[in-house]
Amino acid sequence: MPRIVIATLNARYSHTAFGLRYLYANLGELQNDTGLLEFTINQRPIEIAEQLLKQQPEIIGLGVYIWNVAEINAVVGILKQVAPQIRIVLGGPEVSHPPDLPAVAELADFVITGVGEISFPALCHKLLNGQAPPRKIITGETAPLSALASPYPYYTDT
């Protein structure tokens, strides 16, 4: 079972989440302990929560976009009721502009604003080693594009 799960809710299955694959590509040694799941906004929040919980992760990272913010809010609410020990980390465009954060940011343990390819793995390392960051809102650290791993090897036909 993965210690970390990264997931999002797409508008439909005809596309894949580029941001998730960028995160996954840049997790370094944490890749072996990470699962990647995609859902759609047409799935029931309880079903999504069940699929996430089946993985038995310690950390769940969720990508929040304009088309899925309401559904993510419902999923996080369920996760926090059923498994409050799981650390929920939000990222994506809808949670990148404090102080105008959606209500779901209050439910999450951590929010990464801006890019997450450097900050998300760093946060996961801390959490998995029992260290809590001093702030809930974490400003994403940028890196030159040339320093980041490409997400394209993680695209598949399935």
Q: What is the mean pLDDT of residues 82-107?
A: 93
- Is it the case that residue 83 has pLDDT exceeding 60? yes
Say if residue 14's pLDDT is above 70: no
Sign, CA dihedral 135-127-61-151, equals positive
What does the buried/exposed string (b/e) look like for 30-44 if buried means 16 or more CB atoms within 10 Å of the residue's CB? bbebbbbbebbbeee
Report the predicted TM-score, pTM, of the whole model to 2 decimal places.
0.93
pLDDT tens figures, 24-67: 999 999 999 999 999 999 999 999 999 999 999 999 999 999 99
pLDDT above 70 covers a percentage of the chain that reads: 97
* pLDDT at residue 152, as a whole number: 72
Q: What is the mean pLDDT of residues 131-154?
A: 86
Whether 158 shows a pLDDT value over 70: the answer reads no
Over 90: is that where the pLDDT of 136 sits? yes
Q: Given this model, what pLDDT does residue 142 score?
A: 87
* Mean of pLDDT values over 57-78: 97
Average pLDDT over residues 132-152: 86
**18, 66, 97 from 111: Cα distances, Å:** 19, 16, 11
Cα–Cα nearest to 52, from 69, 74, 67, 24: 74
Domain 4-154 homologous superfamily, CATH: Response regulator (3.40.50.2300)
Q: What is the DSSP letter of 137?
A: E
Mean pLDDT computed over every residue of the chain? 92
